[in-house]
Amino acid sequence: MKQEHLGERVHDLLDNRLTPLQAADAMAHLDVCADCRTRWAELRAAREALQSSPAGIDMSFAQQLLDRDRMSQIAQRESKRDARAAAGHAHRPMMALVVMLIVLSSGVVGAYAAGAPERVEPAFADGADSDDNTVSYMTSTSMRSDDVLSAWAHPEWDSADVKPVEARVVHDAYGDDVLLLWLVAGSETIVVAEQRGSLDYAAADAYPRVDLGGVTAFLVSEQPRRLLWETGDFVVSAACECTAATLEAAAASFPATSTPGFLDRVGDGAMRIAQVLTGE
C-alpha cells in the first residue's frame, strides 16, 4: 500500500468492509503511520464506548460522530500538514464529549433505577394476615388521622361509603411492609391489602379486567371476590364475601392517582442516593 493516509478506509476497516488482502495492507499501514494509527485507535475507542454504554445513548448522535462520509469530507478539506497537526488534538474534545455524555446518562439511569418501585405480584396479599408479622396496629379512630395513614393510599373517610374498622402494618415473607385495612361497606366487611411498588401487569393480564371508573382493576379471585389495581406508587387488593357492585364501589373510593413519570422517578432516586451517601 502506498504511504498515503487511509482516510475513509479507516471506517471500512472498522466495519469489516475490506477484502482480506485490503485489510492486511491497511493493518500494515497502521504499523508504520502514526497519524492513521491514532485516528484508528480513537475511532475504535469511541465506537466501543458508545456500544457498551448502559445508558442507551442516542445512536443517531453516535452516527454523526462516526459517519464515514462526513469524516471523508472533512479530510478532503484538510491539507496533509494540517491533518497531522490536528491529529493529536481535534479528537480530544469529541472523546471528552462522548465520555461526559456516558457519565451523565449513566447517572440519570442510576437515579431512575433507584427511584423505580419494585414489581408486585398479583398474589402479594396471600399470607400477609399474620399476627406474628405485625409492625404496628391502628384503631378506627387513629385510621382517620392523616398522620398515621398519610404514607399510604386510603379513602377520604368523610365522603366515602366505607368506614374504617382497624388496620395493621405487617411484614411479608421478603420483609416488605404491607398495609392491611378492615373496612365496612353497609353490613359487609372488606379486607384491603396494599404494598408500595408497581403492579406486574404481565402476570395480572391473565385475569379478567374490571373498570372502576377510569382505573383498571383485575378480578383475581371469585371466592372470595378479590380485585387488584394500581394507584400511584401502590398496588391495592380488596376482597370480600359480597356482591361485585359492593366490592367495586369500595375499590372506587380509593384515590385514582397516576403513576409517577420519568422525572419524578429520577428525582426520587436522586434523593434516595443522597440519603444513602449522607447517612440520613
pLDDT digits (tens, 9 = 90+) for 71-81: 555 455 544 54
Measure the CA–CA gap between 10 and 205, rounded to whole angstroms: 51
The answer, yes or no, to whether residue 125 has pLDDT greater than 90, is no
Among the candidates 61, 88, 115, a domain finishes at 115
Q: How confident is the model at residue 242, as a pLDDT?
A: 92
Read off the pLDDT of residues 143-195 as tens digits, 9 standing for 90 and up: 887 677 888 888 888 888 899 999 999 888 777 889 999 999 989 999 999 99
Assess whether 75 and 210 both reside in one domain.
no
Assess whether 108 and 130 both reside in one domain.
no
268 against 133, higher pLDDT: 133
Q: How confident is the model at residue 25, as a pLDDT?
A: 85
Place of cell 395513614: 149
Assess whether 237 and 107 both reside in one domain.
no
The answer, yes or no, to whether residue 14 has pLDDT greater than 90, is no
Q: Is 206 helix (H, G, I), strand (E, B) or coil?
A: coil
Alpha-carbon radius of gyration of the chain: 30
Assess whether 204 and 260 both reside in one domain.
yes
For the CA atoms of 115, 118, 120, 126, the dihedral, rounded to the nearest 10 degrees, stands at -120
In a domain, 2, yes or no: no
In a domain, 125, yes or no: yes
Number of folded domains in the chain? Answer: 2
Total residues belonging to the chain? 280
Name the pairing type of β-strands 198-199 and 119-120. parallel
Read off the pLDDT of residues 24-71 as tens digits, 9 standing for 90 and up: 888 888 888 888 888 888 888 777 766 655 544 445 544 554 555 555
Mean pLDDT of the chain: 74
Assess whether 123 and 70 both reside in one domain.
no
CB within 8 Å of 154: residues ≥ 6 apart = 143, 181, 254
In a domain, 1, yes or no: no
Measure the CA–CA gap between 234 and 228, rounded to whole angstroms: 11
CATH of the domain at 203: 3.30.200.100
Assess whether 244 and 227 both reside in one domain.
yes
Nearest by Cα to 164 from 136, 130, 192? 192
Other beta carbons within 10 angstroms of residue 81's beta carbon come to 8
Q: How confident is the model at residue 232, as a pLDDT?
A: 85
Cell of 205: 393480564
The answer, yes or no, to whether residue 269 has pLDDT greater than 60, is no
Among the candidates 115, 138, 158, a domain finishes at 115
Given a contact cutoff of 8 angstroms between Cβ atoms, the answer to whether 67 and 116 are in contact is no
Read off the pLDDT of residues 196-205 as tens digits, 9 standing for 90 and up: 888 888 889 9
Among the candidates 96, 115, 134, a domain finishes at 115
Strands (E), 84-187: 119-120, 134-139, 163-171, 177-185
Given a contact cutoff of 8 angstroms between Cβ atoms, the answer to whether 19 and 69 are in contact is no
Q: How confident is the model at residue 126, as a pLDDT?
A: 74
Assess whether 232 and 104 both reside in one domain.
no
Read off the pLDDT of residues 205-252 as tens digits, 9 standing for 90 and up: 999 999 988 789 999 999 899 999 998 889 999 999 999 999 999 999
In a domain, 4, yes or no: no
Assess whether 139 and 97 both reside in one domain.
no
By residue range, what is the domain housing residue 17? 9-115
Given a contact cutoff of 8 angstroms between Cβ atoms, the answer to whether 178 and 128 are in contact is yes
